[in-house]
A = this chain, B = another copy of it.
Amino acid sequence: MKIEETKITLAETIRNWHRKGWSPATSTNYSFRFPENPDTIFVSRSGVDKSQFTADDFIEVNLQGTPKPRFIDTRPSAETLIHCTIYELFPETQCIVHSHSVYSVLHSAVEQEQVSIQGYEVLKGFHGIVTHETKVDCPIFDNSQDMNAFSETLRTSKNRLTIPAFIMRKHGTYAWGRSLFDAKRHLETIEYLLECEWKLRR
């Protein structure tokens, strides 16, 4: 049924992205939920080698990021609270994905506030954009190990989140959408644009 299918499809996507070098070591984390049950988030558990990630590696947490009782012995990803905050800020969100792509990290090592991207056809990969004749700003936030503090940064910066993606400095990219299909498209869109911009600017 729907939950199991989504787990299988997202796990396959995660393994494919690992092959692209987007999740070195055991890094990155992913989640999804459904409108029928918006208080239950399925999030990747901590410390899994992403080349081996399977449908069994998701655990259930509530909107505060606390594991449901039957997952009490498993640790959710340390960044679960970031997922919770994105679901809170953008309630239509059903899936959140993440990468540690090299180009995301490189931009954030040299740019302060954001990466501005203009005039690419692939900008239409973002929900609601219908022409290449536009400019988007992908915001960069300083990395933090304090997830409460980082969540607060997201809340106070909501007005800067004009596309469904942001960069954590020297860490990676988060992207989200109204479905796994949308979230996947949004991450591939921003990563492609970051690669083009990096190669263009050097």
Which residues on A are within 8 Å of B, measured CB to CB? 16, 21, 24-27, 49, 51, 100, 102, 105-106, 109-110, 119-122, 124-125, 130-133, 143, 145, 168, 170-172, 181, 184-186, 188-189, 191-192, 195-196, 199-200, 202
Contacts and interface: CB of A to CB of B under 8 A. Distances in A.
Contact of A102 (B21, B143, B195): B195
A122 B25 contact: yes
A103 to B, nearest CB: 9
Contacts of A105: 120, 196
A185 to B, nearest CB: 4
Contacts of A202: 202
A172 B121 contact: yes
B122 A51 contact: no
14 contacts: A21-B192, A24-B125, A24-B189, A25-B122, A25-B125, A25-B186, A25-B192, A26-B185, A27-B124, A49-B181, A102-B196, A105-B120, A132-B171, A202-B202
A132 B170 contact: yes
Given A196-B105, A200-B110, A27 B143 contact: no
B106 A196 contact: yes
Contacts of A121: 27, 100, 143, 168, 170-172
Copies of this chain held together in the complex: 4
Contacts of A27: 121-122, 124-125
A117 to B, nearest CB: 10
Most chain B beta carbons < 10 A, residue from A106, A119, A170, A184: A170
A192 B105 CA distance: 11
A128 to B, nearest CB: 14
Contact of A24 (B100, B131, B192): B192
Nearest to A191: B24
